[in-house]
Amino acid sequence: MTDGTSDETTEEQLDAVLAAAAAAAPQWAASDPATRRRLLEALAVALEGAVDELVALAQEETALSTARLSGEVRRTAYQLRFAADVVADGGYLDAVRDEPSQDAGLPAPRPDLRRVLLPRGPALVFEAGNFPFAFGLLGTDTAAGLAAGCPVVVKVHPGHPRTSLRQAELARGALDAAGFPAGLLGSVVGGEPGVRALRDPRVRVATFTGSLRGGLALQQVAQERAEPIPFYGELGSVNPVVVTAAAAERRTEEVAKGLLDSVSGSGGQLCTKPGLVLVPAGPLPDLLARLVAERAPERMLTPDGRDRFREELAERRSLPGVEVLGAGRPEAADDPSAQQVLLLTTSAERAAEQLEQLAQEVFGPAAVVVAYDDAAALEELVPRLPGSLTGTVQYDPEDPEDVARAARVAELLAARVGRVVFNGWPTGVSVALAMHHGGPPPASTDDTTTSVGGASLRRFLRPVVFQGAPELALPPALRGAPA
């Protein structure tokens, strides 16, 4: 911990945090589901007991709305309890047994084999800038790491340090009161201390949600250690949307409004914001152009973020054949965080020529609308899209032919994304057993893992098989006679 101040963590402080995490690791790895629930519940209660204070702090630091932030705190508390449910169920351990066998059909006699997932040890969690709670100090990776049996050290995000460190204080109070070692949840402030922690042999796994550049640099640090460790980064996602001709014709207004809400919500600063939208040329682009003009400016997390966004957007606008489809109401000149909503557009032919540049994430309230004349363009464009967290298809469910078309588009999207959304918008990530919040690079560094959902605990676990082990040497989940 860092005593609630946002001063950069010193080398001595970091050493103490990591030593405490390492010391707490064996006992926590051996803890039972009821103990883990007790810890996670205590953290959820601590969060809920300070909603107003935390939301006020986060608003000062991030310019996100009260509704968004208080909803986020609720979700974060839910995530902590959800992780406890996953542990209680036990299926997350993926325990499998083979009984010994001398069967003549086997290539060799089979010993008693029992496999289970074991906790890796101390985890380093890099907070996200755009979710001070849900992907913050007590966010989804922290919940999953603790639930999986790993102490967690959180690298505080510079975009909302006070919000994070107040959560750290509340967490420390809750741990103390419930008799848990403080080493179960530590924090570190500062970029350089964060990298030092990532290099430390006591850290056994790391997770990150943030920019492509930052994430790839940290991944390299994790790989260049004497013993590389898993680094799970969620880095950038253009989240393609495909609108079929039938949907554009019969659900025009619904699709247009849904898209604009999804592009501009939370200032477009969501990892699942649609960035590239393939729509039939015609009435839908025209309606989008009209509707976007009514949109109020969005507030971005920080002035720096707004400047980066504008630079990236200017690059897209300078590409040949790319035009402004429409812009929202202009922002006040004296507000350094405000940003008007923007839609760019180009043709399918132009998009095919410069897809690499057009299909990079732009983090803010903007999207590129690609107008196609013929559905055949989808067969060319979709397979060439970069990996994304989500891909969406908007179709007409009442039209059997269009359902078949949507199924084909979904098949193409499924090869490029982690979640295929039908007639919904991807800016909702359910905390649920089947959720997968990951995708091919650049969306994730490892597309088999997820930061949200029932499988999120697996990031912090590793399979080990015990061969011919005496009962005493087996982890609890493997003891006893086979089921």
For residues 383 and 398, give the distance between their C-alpha atoms in angstroms, rounded to a whole number: 27
Q: Residues 68 to 87: which contact a copy of itself by CB under 8 A?
A: 71, 74-75, 78
For residues 71 and 265, give the distance between their C-alpha atoms in angstroms, rounded to a whole number: 14
User: Which two structure tokens, joined as six digits, stand for 93?
Assistant: 């351990």
**Does 222 sit near a copy of itself (CB under 8 A)?**
no
**Does 430 sit near a copy of itself (CB under 8 A)?**
yes
Which one of 54, 146, 382, 455 is in contact with a copy of itself (CB under 8 A)?
455
Decide if 4 contacts 165 (C-beta within 8 A). yes
Of 395, 394, 387, 446, the residue nearest 419 (C-alpha): 387
Active-site pick, 271, 298, 331, 361:
271
Annotated catalytic residue 271: yes
Which one of 67, 104, 314, 434 is in contact with a copy of itself (CB under 8 A)?
434
For residues 83 and 176, give the distance between their C-alpha atoms in angstroms, rounded to a whole number: 21
Least distance (Å) between residue 63 CB and a copy of itself: 22
User: Which two structure tokens, joined as six digits, stand for 199?
Assistant: 């290099």
DSSP H stretches of helix in 325-445: 348-353, 355-358, 376-381, 400-414
For residues 440 and 445, give the distance between their C-alpha atoms in angstroms, rounded to a whole number: 7
Least distance (Å) between residue 441 CB and a copy of itself: 5
Annotated catalytic residue 353: no
Which one of 54, 121, 243, 251 is in contact with a copy of itself (CB under 8 A)?
121
**Does 90 sit near a copy of itself (CB under 8 A)?**
no
Binding segment toward a copy of itself, per CB under 8 A, in 115-123, 156-164, 271-279, 288-296 = 115-123
Distance from chain centroid for Cα 312: 22
Binding segment toward a copy of itself, per CB under 8 A, in 1-9, 234-242, 281-289, 448-456 = 448-456
Of 371, 361, 1, 42, the residue nearest 180 (C-alpha): 42
For residues 433 and 23, give the distance between their C-alpha atoms in angstroms, rounded to a whole number: 31
User: Which two structure tokens, joined as six digits, stand for 6?
Assistant: 């946002």
**Does 435 sit near a copy of itself (CB under 8 A)?**
yes
Question: What is the 8-class DSSP label of residue 440?
Answer: T
**Does 218 sit near a copy of itself (CB under 8 A)?**
no
Least distance (Å) between residue 166 CB and a copy of itself: 21
In sequence order, what are the residues at sequence separation of 6 or more whose Cβ sits closer than 8 angstroms to the Cβ of residue 58?
A: 64, 69, 132, 133, 160, 163
With CB under 8 A as the rule, give the number of residues binding a copy of itself: 69
Least distance (Å) between residue 280 CB and a copy of itself: 20
Q: Residues 384 to 413: which contact a copy of itself by CB under 8 A?
A: 386-387, 397, 403-404, 406-407, 410-411
Decide if 368 contacts 316 (C-beta within 8 A). yes
The residue among 172 and 416 lying less far from a copy of itself, judged by its C-beta, is 416
Q: Which residues bind a copy of itself (CB under 8 A)?
A: 71, 74-75, 78, 96-98, 105-108, 110-111, 113-115, 118, 121, 227-228, 230, 386-387, 397, 403-404, 406-407, 410-411, 414-415, 417-424, 428, 430-436, 438, 440-441, 446-448, 450, 454-455, 458, 462-470, 472-473
Q: Which residues are known catalytic residues?
A: 234, 271
